[in-house]
Amino acid sequence: MTRVIHTGDTHIGYRQYHSAERRADFLAAFQRVAADAVEEDVDAVVHAGDLFHDRRPDLQDLLGTLDVLRDLDDADVPFLAIVGNHEGTREGQWLDLFSRMGLATRLDSEGVVIGETTFYGLDHVPVSRREELEYDFSPPETDHTALVAHGLFEPFPYADWDTEALLDSAPVEFDAVLLGDNHHPDRAELGGTWVTYCGSTERASASERDGRGYNLVSFVEGEAHITRRGLDTREFVFVDVELAAGEGTERVLERVGQHDLADRVVIVTVEGEGETVTPAEVESFAREEGALIARVNDKRNVEEGASFDVSFSDPDTAVRARLEEMGLSGAASDIDETVRASKIADTNVRGAVEERVRSLIEEEPEAFETVESESAIEGTETMEDAIASESGTDVTNETDPPDTDGQNAVGHAESTHRPEEASAEGQDQSSMEEYL
């Protein structure tokens, strides 16, 4: 028998709501997963991508992550992982650094044997590059097999990946497909294979109302058995107010005051009729009652007749989905990250963009090749339009772009690195390893 913890979407380093406390919460959730792994004496921790929220994590997030990985290593619990869309870079991955330090194993098409099970990995791949994939997994030497992947897979909501086609194309018959990317835990059986999402370990958006946790997966006698384990994370208080005619801020305050708000994140959603609600007044009241963070989402603040739903408390998900649809080139993604998601001060963004463009033109002109996507086919936006639009937009550095590289995915045979770039990458990783 092989028992593993299946986790993912830990998003370490996410400064949600610009809060240092929330940033610490994401690391703390990962620490609790590792502590459970040691206590349960599992055979491995399997991470399905998005270990970090940012492809350029701060030093304190790296050091905190290393502490957790060292705890697992000291307890002889292997850490197996793949690269998700949030943390994927055009160059070397942080997961490769952890692997060189002996603290992690990056899963790929070759497979890694843990107990009686072989685990394979499939990094996040943008929709526009999936036709290039060849699911060339090496034959297993064990009775059980599992694929770890990151993306939106069928038959779950918002899927853009044909899971049955993957299973039919792969030369390996998987007992389970362990997924990351969808923060909602779920499972389904397709032709005798269990396909499951572990969900995120912390609430990364106001829409994630259910408790957080991970999967405990056992491989025994030719079958995979999946159970759900909860995590003790910071509490969110969701206050949904349906205002009647004549009701307004006072009614909202009354409803909010009915809850214990101490050290909690408070999300207030207002619908119905009634009068105008002042969000600042409601948020100030909640903080005075001890709330760590308070946000008001008045759904009535949408133009009459509009066919979409807007959440002002957390736009990250919508931004990431739109970028995925655009199918940006590698250069456009780099520039997008510099403008929106990097830790460069706002006053220095223009200079950083100019410097990055010059560097790409001189050293990697092929990075400007447009990636064909559904949006490009429909003519909604060109790569040049995207660059001009993003670099000229005055926005805050709060959200993160998805990965548009995918060069390390299973079956993607060609790397865009030239030999001299690979050498420089190795030197950088070696220097970082010595520093840490």
Q: Hey, what are 260's tokens?
A: 């214990």
Close Cβ partners of 158 (under 8 Å, ≥ 6 residues apart): 152, 182
Question: Is 86 assigned a catalytic role?
Answer: yes
Measured between alpha carbons, how far is 375 from 41 in angstroms, rounded to an integer? 47
- Ramachandran region of residue 162, left (φ > 0), alpha (ψ -120 to 50) or beta? beta
Options 6, 11, 53, 86, the catalytic residue: 86
Single out the residue of 204, 292, 172 nearest to residue 13, CA to CA. Answer: 204
Measured between alpha carbons, how far is 288 from 265 in angstroms, rounded to an integer? 13
- What are the beta bridge partners of residue 4? 44, 217
Single out the residue of 148, 133, 14 nearest to residue 408, CA to CA. Answer: 133
Where is 243: in which H helix or E strand? strand 236-243
Strand pairing class (44-47; 2-7): parallel
373 in helix, strand or coil? Answer: coil
Close Cβ partners of 5 (under 8 Å, ≥ 6 residues apart): 33, 36, 37, 40, 42, 44, 45, 46, 214, 215, 216, 217, 229
The letter for the amino acid at 292 is L
- Count H helices, E strands: the chain? 12, 15
Single out the residue of 147, 157, 220, 150 nearest to residue 184, CA to CA. Answer: 157
Angle between the N-to-C axes of helices 279-288 and 249-256, in degrees from 0 to 180, rounded to the nearest 10: 30
So which residues are the catalytic ones? 86
